Amino acid sequence: MSNDRIAWLENGHEFNVGFDELLNYHGHGYPGGVAHGLKVMQRAWPLLDDGRLPERREIRCVTAFGGPGGRDAIEFVTRGLTEGRYIVDKSLAEGVEESPGGRYYFRFEYRGTAVEVTIRPGHVRPEFITLARKQNRTEEEEADLVQWKKEMTERLLPLPAETVYDAKVSRL
């Protein structure tokens, strides 16, 4: 599977989508967040069930990442938000790199296995975080933020998920 796609099962039937479909579902406001959502799923899925694709409606995600792009990417694939299996807890993961509205920490649980996924240093530019958190941005700053989001997306998508995110597997 390519670096911009993710696959899963629903009732034993395989589905897969690419980044563009996830972004269209999201609405284009936070493409970097959509890219992060895709990368964390790509990182976690092979570890959840010994390389087998997971059944979407059995996946639970607890995250400290509050961004709408990541949320929407994970929702598209898992339907976890709709069904109460996607929980945001920004108090989690002290010491994990910060995002504009939380931390880059995701814990996926599936059939007795948990996979904690955390970003590796250097994948999020400090300038992006600072600008994204700034209140009352000027029009120029808004345009700059759009460019930072695009830059991050274009940089992350071609990378294998293992180079962007670390993963730790445990039994529940």
Q: What are phi and psi of 106, to 5 degrees?
A: -140, 135
- Could you tell me the maximum CA-CA distance found in the chain, to the nearest angstrom? 49
pLDDT at 3: 85
pLDDT of residue 89: 96
CA distance 41 to 74: 8
Confidence (pTM): 0.96
**Residue 2 pLDDT exceeds 90:** no
The pLDDT score that the predictor gives to residue 57 is: 97
CATH architecture of 5-171: 2-Layer Sandwich (3.30)
What digits encode the pLDDT tens for the residues 15-54?
A: 999 999 999 999 999 999 999 999 999 999 999 999 999 9
